[in-house]
Amino acid sequence: MTPEHPEDAVDRIVRQWAVERPELDTGPMAVIGRIHRVADLLEAALRPPFAAEGLGNGDFDVLASLRRAGAPYRLSATDLTATMMVTSGAVTKRVDRLEAAGLVTREVAKHDARGRLIGLTPAGLAVVDRVVEKHWANEERLLAPLGAGERAALVASLRKLLLALEGR
């Protein structure tokens, strides 16, 4: 490695495997290992603005999904689950916490007595609007080492990989 290209944790792992199993191509590990490491570090770095409001990452996801839905900031439980790409059980636990905190409401859907609508309370709307600004500033800070062109290239590459992994 050089001063312009310092060694990261994945370089060390890849180098060790190259010594121990030189017949194996470590190229995929160099990519996947970095994606995993970046995801772990981002997960930890994204928590503080949520925690400052007494929220977990998943709680913010519920509030943000409802906010993105637009006024009146309500979604059916099924639609909320679909926008979050998690299990209905996980959504139920998050909604339970947020309802207890007075940030969301649950009401019976008018068109289906078995269905439930989850909606932001005025307090929930205030929290998500305040936290989203801090969240975006935090994301900008985390991406500051990358220039606009690097970000665009990373977005394109990750989109291509995500679409392939999603089977599309």
- 156 vs 151: CA distance, rounded Å: 9
pTM: 0.82
- Tell whether 45 and 59 lie within a shared domain: no
For residue 17, give every residue at least 6 positions away whose Cβ sits within 8 Å of its Cβ, in sequence order, or none.
24, 26, 29
CATH number, domain at 148? 1.10.10.10
- Tell whether 61 and 7 lie within a shared domain: no
If you average pLDDT over residues 12-27, what whole number do you get? 95
Strand pairing class (74-76; 112-120): antiparallel
Which pLDDT belongs to residue 87? 81
Q: Where do runs of H (alpha helix) occur along the chain?
A: 9-20, 27-52, 57-68, 77-84, 88-100, 122-143, 148-165
CA 85 to chain centre: 10
The range of the structural domain enclosing residue 69 comes to 55-165
| Domain total in the chain | 2
- Tell whether 147 and 72 lie within a shared domain: yes
- Tell whether 36 and 77 lie within a shared domain: no
For residue 134, give every residue at least 6 positions away whose Cβ sits within 8 Å of its Cβ, in sequence order, or none.
49, 52
What does the block give as tokens for 129? 């609007």
Burial class of residue 147 in the structure, from the number of CB atoms within 10 Å of its CB (0-12 exposed, 13-18 middle, 19+ buried): exposed
- Tell whether 21 and 71 lie within a shared domain: no
Which pLDDT belongs to residue 115? 72
Which pLDDT belongs to residue 88? 81
pLDDT in tens, 51-98: 999 998 789 999 999 999 999 999 998 899 888 878 888 888 999 999
Which pLDDT belongs to residue 1? 63
If you average pLDDT over residues 23-32, what whole number do you get? 95
- Tell whether 110 and 148 lie within a shared domain: yes
- Tell whether 81 and 146 lie within a shared domain: yes
If you average pLDDT over residues 27-52, what whole number do you get? 94
